[in-house]
Amino acid sequence: MLLLSSPPTLIFGGASIGDAYNTVSAVSDLLSTLQTLGIHRIDTAARYPSPRPGTSELLLGEVSAAKQGFAIDTKIIPLGDGSGSLAPQAVGRSLDGSYQRLKLGEDANVNVLYCHCPDPQTPLEEQAGGLDAQFRRGLFKQLGISNFSPEMLQDFLTICDRHGFIKPSVYQGQYNVLCRDVEKDLLPILRRHGIAFVAFSPLAGGFLTGRLTTGDVAGTRFSDGNVMGQYLRVQYDRHEMHTAVKALQDALKREGIGNVEACLRWICWHSALREGDGIILGASRLEQLNKNCEAVKRGPLPESIVQVMDALGNMEESS
């Protein structure tokens, strides 16, 4: 991988707004911290947070985040398994609801509007046409795609070219030192079309902290009863993944670097991300947010650690 001269854009993950930050006062303090850290973009969604959908947008509206200068990215709310979510009328309803909650208007609109997940029911041509119609209303600046397969994305782009519809300029997907499938098939498509990649889950939902590997899961997503933790266990709670984390921990001990710091520095400075891409940083505490940003500022990792971390991706690929 090429060593970057500056890290990709850091974006705050708004899934915790309405959950960890559940009052106007708490969100105001969060925005003040983000401004101090130089983070001016927030990623939210109509379904955030999952226990109370819409609350993230509502609180961001209450504190006038857009009018404070924050770029707000949001996502169309999925319906069930996604069927019908990207039908033109459903897109309009979702976007109008987001506008009301975020308190947007002529002086502020959505920065990136994402399709949160595929819609297996509505024909792609109808989806693309409906999204184009909303763009022509001036309701968002860029169209984003999330969780589409490379094949579906390519089909979507072909349709947009054929009809002159707005094309997606941002793709949001999972990416971290253990989850690197996007490097093979997706990123080449994005680079050919000039589409930025925004990475979520740079710490694998907390798995890369090593706490699940050591059995210390109290207060984490992997604790009993956490729905997101159940999903993450399916993906990461496997022998080869734990082996990778242990190998990383052994190497980091010799350098005196923590797991979280190493994984953030790797994705910012040594991964396949490029200038113009982004990384979503989530944090349930301001202290954690500050610490993560400080880690990024420490710059590139020692070459010995980079070699170990790159090998982790190869380990997962061969499993």
Q: Cα separations (Å) of 105 from 5, 75, 100, 141, 261?
A: 37, 17, 9, 13, 39
pLDDT in the model for residue 7: 85
Tokens at residue 229, please?
């933790």
Q: Specify whether the CB–CB gap between 65 and 35 falls below 8 A.
A: no
pLDDT in the model for residue 226: 65
> Which pTM value belongs to this model?
0.93
- Residue in 48, 99, 175, 236 annotated catalytic: 48
Q: How far apart are CA 265 and CA 208, in angstroms?
A: 13
Positive or negative: CA dihedral 158, 1, 5, 309: positive
Query: How many alpha carbons lie under 13 Å from residue 134 in its C-beta half-sphere?
Result: 31
Q: Give, for 114, the enclosing helix (H) or strand (E).
A: strand 110-115
Residues in Cβ contact with 136 at an 8 Å cutoff, skipping those fewer than 6 apart: none
Q: In the chain, what are the domains?
A: 9-318 (3.20.20.100)
48 flagged as catalytic:
yes
pLDDT in the model for residue 217: 63
Which residue reads 């399916």 in tokens? 234
pLDDT in the model for residue 87: 97
Q: Specify whether the CB–CB gap between 17 and 60 falls below 8 A.
A: yes
Tens of pLDDT along the chain (319 residues) come to 667 778 899 999 999 999 999 999 999 999 999 999 999 999 999 999 988 999 999 999 999 999 999 999 999 999 888 889 999 999 999 999 999 999 998 888 999 999 999 999 999 999 999 999 999 999 999 999 999 999 999 999 999 999 999 999 999 999 999 999 999 999 999 999 999 999 999 999 888 988 777 776 666 666 666 666 666 777 788 888 888 889 999 999 999 999 999 999 999 999 999 999 999 999 999 999 999 999 999 999 999 999 999 998 765 554 4
Tally of CB atoms within 10 A around 300: 15
Residue 140: Cβ-neighbour burial (10 angstroms; 0-12, 13-18, 19+): buried
CA triple 72-74-79, angle to 5 deg: 165
Q: How far apart are CA 219 and CA 49, in angstroms?
A: 17
